[in-house]
Amino acid sequence: MIQTPYYLIDKTKLLRNMEKIAYLRETSGAKALLALKCFATWSVFDLMRDYMDGTTSSSLNEARLGHERFGKETHAYSVAYADYEIDEVVSHADKIIFNTIGQLRRFEKPSAGIIRGLRLNPGVSSSSFDLADPARPFSRLGEWDLAKVEPVMDLISGFMIHNNCENKDFDLFDRMLGDIEEKFGPLLKKADWVSLGGGIHFTGEDYPIDRFAERLKRFSGEYDVQVYLEPGEASITKSTTLEVTVLDKLYNGKDLVVVDSSIEAHMLDLLIYRESAKVSPNQGPHRYMVCGKSCLAGDIFGEFDFPDELKVGDRISIQDAAGYTMVKKNWFNGVKMPAIAIRELDGSIRTVREFSYTDYEQSLS
């Protein structure tokens, strides 16, 4: 058995998402780009590239990774590019998307050789978290004034609009897209392509994917644009677990277990958004608070029900541990970094990366 903690990517589960993405591409005409900000574990790109059109990035490093490890189309976006980055970004990208008109004009000459776009902010989003809401008051994410964008249309050929966040509600997506059309219709008519970003949970169970495909196709036809989607979480949802081992048990008003992992180090988004991890099936008469081994008092995965009493040495699988998780893992407390393993389509498991003290030491100075 592989020594815990480790992330386990199951290619069979990943394939289910890929097949839904392929179906959507075929029925809607939209292209799908993997959002590397959510998931960038390139050891499974060999499977994913057969079902997706390329990658989209949020930094120079992500753009380079997408170009070198995934291939196909490489879209580069950043909230702000530095002068020393721009030439290298352009060398890796097929399209570059600027966050503001100021950045577009600043880097007009160095980016002249590739396709350019601009981010638009429609002022509405599906986010229930202010922290993640691109349309929050005083947002820096994209241009919102049609009158200011009109004069730079000769410098760009398309737009990126990212205003969905964990949106499982097709009707909400439909209404927000209608808002976008109403606000930016004259600009969209002049574009060749439009990326509607990520955050749309169209690979989830019971999502009306055919209605979604029809809406995308209709949008594409109305404005004569190539539609892009940037699925992150939708690409890898329910494909990956974080495998951990119980190290200790105690009782302090509740039954607690301590595992050889840390929510702050290995599932940081849960801590940031104050959400519980997931354990399946989460049923049974024995309830435990599962705690991480770092010194942070709130290092708690959550409370879960188990069919049997837990004991030291038992293993627990924390579900849905890929999106915005593996890309955010860190060395807090020097806690052992989880290895990365892959369950192949034939059921065999191989370890693709282990981390050592040297990795910890060299991540510092």
Binding site for substrate: what residues are annotated?
Answer: 233, 269
Residue 292: C-alpha distances to residues 99, 271, 277, 337 (Å): 38, 12, 12, 13
Residues 296, 330 contacting (CB under 8 angstroms): no
CA distance 229 to 214: 14
What residue numbers does the annotated binding site cover?
233, 269
Q: For residue 68, what are the contacts with CB-CB under 8 A and spacing of at least 6?
A: 92
Q: In a 10 Å sphere around its CB, with 0-12 CB exposed, 13-18 middle and 19+ buried, how is residue 83 labelled?
A: exposed
CA distance 263 to 272: 10
CA distance 170 to 208: 7
**Hunting for tokens 């302090």 — which residue is that?**
252
Residue 25: C-alpha distances to residues 128, 207, 236, 257, 303 (Å): 28, 16, 17, 45, 39
Residues 257, 289 contacting (CB under 8 angstroms): yes
